[in-house]
């Protein structure tokens, strides 16, 4: 069996004199037990590929009662295809995703009823004020983006989320270095010590959110997190009064891949943060097993404003509970070039005076 050097990938050879494996290219030496463990871990990792956690999605959501379903109306946007539902008090004047002016009534689909909801804490006035503050000082924004009538189009939408509970069993190895420099005999000497750092342990995760709407960009939902789950309530249609709610079009199984990625990345970061006192740190090996967890279906509050500029779509989103904001803002290129000319011409004149 051929073994490769973990440092450079070159072939390793056992040297009887030292009792170690030595790399023919970078001359790094390894104890036999270290290489045995390394390859045992690789075999275990290869055997576990494709055997991710089996999420228990059977507990996510429940059926609507006939009374609840009778009070809910569905809407579909003929422009972008968004499927929304709300109670009778919501004003269906335009789509919150693409601003299409006519949202057509449709039959309410028999989707699952959410398990929980975080009610809107911030009202429309707060969202409008936050957007104005977010745009303040951005001189390259189109003027009509500030218009009051435009800001009035902000809509409150309950975005569907799957919330994942999970536990991880992790084993990680890091390459670490410590360096020190000193002057000796008129020369600057730098010494580097190399270490292998091992971390093992378990972590528990609760309510890891993944948005279940293909219309909502994942980057926007990541940016307005976190939500404070202390305010979570058992779902009731009462909380929908005056708001839209987006129907999920990506089920819990489909979204579990992203949940796995978020949980795995968070575990790696948490374990790396326990390693202190080194000049550098790189991951040499990582094995993270996710254990079976439950999934819940939740509605979380978001204020949305979509707009078009020069044929491009821009979306502003604000956490309806905490006020955290993310936004794609259009740029008025005519104002940009006017601004650029305003600073370029004086600089060219000044440069010409200096050179003369």
pLDDT, tens digit, 9 for 90 and up, residues 57-114 = 666 777 767 666 666 667 677 666 677 766 554 544 567 776 665 555 554 555 678 8
pLDDT for position 11: 81
Residue 145 falls within a domain, yes or no? yes
Q: Are residues 18 and 100 in the same domain?
A: no
Q: Are residues 90 and 210 in the same domain?
A: yes
Q: Are residues 1 and 41 in the same domain?
A: yes
Q: Cα 5 to chain center, whole Å? A: 35
Helix H segments across 233-355? 252-272, 333-355
Residue 322 falls within a domain, yes or no? yes
Range of the domain at 28: 1-47
What tokens were used for 305? 């404003």
Q: Among residues 316, 326, 315, 318, which one has the least CA distance to residue 300?
A: 318
Per-residue pLDDT of the chain (356 residues; tens, 9 = 90+): 567 787 777 788 777 677 788 887 788 888 888 887 887 777 666 555 444 556 666 667 777 676 666 666 676 776 666 777 665 545 445 677 766 655 555 545 556 788 999 999 988 888 888 887 877 766 666 666 655 556 667 888 889 999 999 999 999 999 999 999 988 888 898 999 999 999 999 999 999 999 998 888 888 888 999 999 999 999 887 787 778 888 888 888 899 899 999 999 999 999 999 999 999 999 988 899 888 788 999 999 999 887 766 666 778 889 999 999 887 766 554 554 454 455 555 565 555 555 55
Bridge partner residues of 29 (DSSP): 22
Residue 20 falls within a domain, yes or no? yes
Q: Are residues 306 and 337 in the same domain?
A: yes
Collect contacts of 92-98 with beta carbons under 8 A, ≥24 apart: 92/244, 94/153, 94/155, 95/306, 96/155, 96/157, 96/244, 96/304, 96/306, 97/215, 97/216, 97/304, 97/306, 97/315, 98/306, 98/313
Classify the phi-psi angles of 207: left when phi > 0, otherwise alpha if psi is within -120 to 50, otherwise beta: left
Q: Are residues 14 and 81 in the same domain?
A: no
pLDDT for position 37: 81
How far is residue 172's CA from residue 177's CA, in Å, rounded to a whole number? 16
Q: Return the DSSP state at 93.
A: S
Residue 330 falls within a domain, yes or no? yes
pLDDT for position 239: 81
How, if at all, do strands 83-87 and 187-211 pair? Answer: unpaired
Q: Are residues 219 and 322 in the same domain?
A: yes
Q: Are residues 97 and 144 in the same domain?
A: yes
pLDDT for position 337: 45
pLDDT for position 207: 93
Q: Are residues 71 and 24 in the same domain?
A: no
Residues of 86-101 as b/e, b for ≥16 C-beta within 10 angstroms? bbeebebebbbbbbbe
CB contact set of 72 (below 8 Å; sequence gap of 6+): 64, 85, 86, 87, 108, 237, 240
Q: pTM for this structure? A: 0.68
- As a whole number of Å, the end-to-end CA separation of the chain is 75
Residue 278 falls within a domain, yes or no? no
Residue 354 falls within a domain, yes or no? no
Number of domains in the chain: 2
Residue 9 falls within a domain, yes or no? yes
CB contact set of 260 (below 8 Å; sequence gap of 6+): 52, 53, 290
**For 201-236, how does the pLDDT look when each residue is reduced to its tens digit (9 = 90+)?**
999 999 999 999 888 888 888 899 999 999 999 988
How far is residue 36's CA from residue 174's CA, in Å, rounded to a whole number? 17
CB atoms within 10 A of CB 156: 23
Q: Are residues 113 and 228 in the same domain?
A: yes
Q: Are residues 31 and 151 in the same domain?
A: no
Q: What is the DSSP string of 49-62?
A: TT-----BGGGS-B
pLDDT for position 348: 58
CB contact set of 83 (below 8 Å; sequence gap of 6+): 74, 75, 76, 77, 106, 109, 246, 247, 249
Q: Cα 218 to chain center, whole Å? A: 6
Residue 68 falls within a domain, yes or no? yes
Q: Are residues 150 and 10 in the same domain?
A: no
Q: Are residues 99 and 239 in the same domain?
A: yes
Last residue of a domain, one of 10, 28, 47: 47
How, if at all, do strands 116-117 and 155-184 pair? Answer: unpaired
Q: Among residues 321, 300, 290, which one has the least CA distance to residue 162?
A: 300
pLDDT for position 154: 82
Are 51 and 287 spatial neighbours (Cβ–Cβ below 8 Å)? Answer: no
| Strand stretches in 185-213, DSSP E | 187-211
């Amino acid at each position: 069996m051929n073994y490769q050097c973990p440092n450079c990938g070159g072939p390793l050879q056992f040297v009887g004199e030292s009792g170690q494996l030595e790399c023919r290219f970078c001359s790094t030496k390894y104890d036999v037990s270290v290489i045995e463990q390394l390859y045992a871990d690789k075999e275990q990792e290869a055997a576990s590929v494709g055997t991710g956690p089996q999420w228990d999605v059977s507990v996510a959501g429940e059926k609507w009662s006939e009374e609840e379903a009778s009070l809910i109306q569905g809407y579909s946007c003929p422009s972008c295809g968004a499927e929304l539902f709300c109670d009778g008090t919501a004003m269906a004047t335009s789509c919150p995703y693409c601003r299409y002016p006519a949202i057509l009534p449709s039959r309410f689909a028999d989707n699952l009823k959410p398990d929980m909801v975080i009610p809107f804490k911030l009202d429309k006035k707060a969202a409008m004020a936050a957007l104005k503050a977010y745009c303040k000082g951005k001189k390259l924004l189109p003027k009509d983006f500030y218009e009051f009538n435009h800001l009035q189009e902000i809509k409150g939408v309950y975005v569907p989320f799957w919330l994942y509970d999970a536990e991880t069993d992790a084993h990680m190895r890091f390459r670490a270095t410590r360096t020190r420099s000193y002057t000796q005999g008129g020369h600057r000497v730098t010494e580097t010590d190399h270490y292998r750092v091992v971390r093992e342990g378990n972590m528990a995760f609760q309510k890891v959110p993944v948005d279940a709407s293909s219309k909502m960009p994942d980057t926007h939902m990541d940016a307005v997190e976190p939500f404070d789950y202390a305010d979570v309530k058992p779902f009731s249609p009462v909380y929908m009064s005056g708001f839209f709610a987006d129907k999920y079009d990506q089920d819990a199984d489909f979204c579990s891949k992203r949940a796995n990625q978020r949980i795995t990345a968070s575990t790696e970061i948490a374990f790396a943060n326990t390693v202190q006192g080194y000049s550098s740190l790189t991951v040499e090996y990582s094995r993270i097993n996710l254990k079976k967890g439950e999934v819940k279906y939740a509605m979380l509050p978001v204020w949305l404003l979509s707009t078009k500029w020069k044929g491009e779509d821009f979306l502003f989103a604000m956490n309806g509970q905490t006020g955290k904001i993310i936004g794609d803002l259009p740029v008025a290129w005519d104002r940009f070039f006017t601004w650029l000319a305003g600073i370029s011409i004086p600089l060219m004149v000044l440069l010409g005076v200096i050179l003369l």
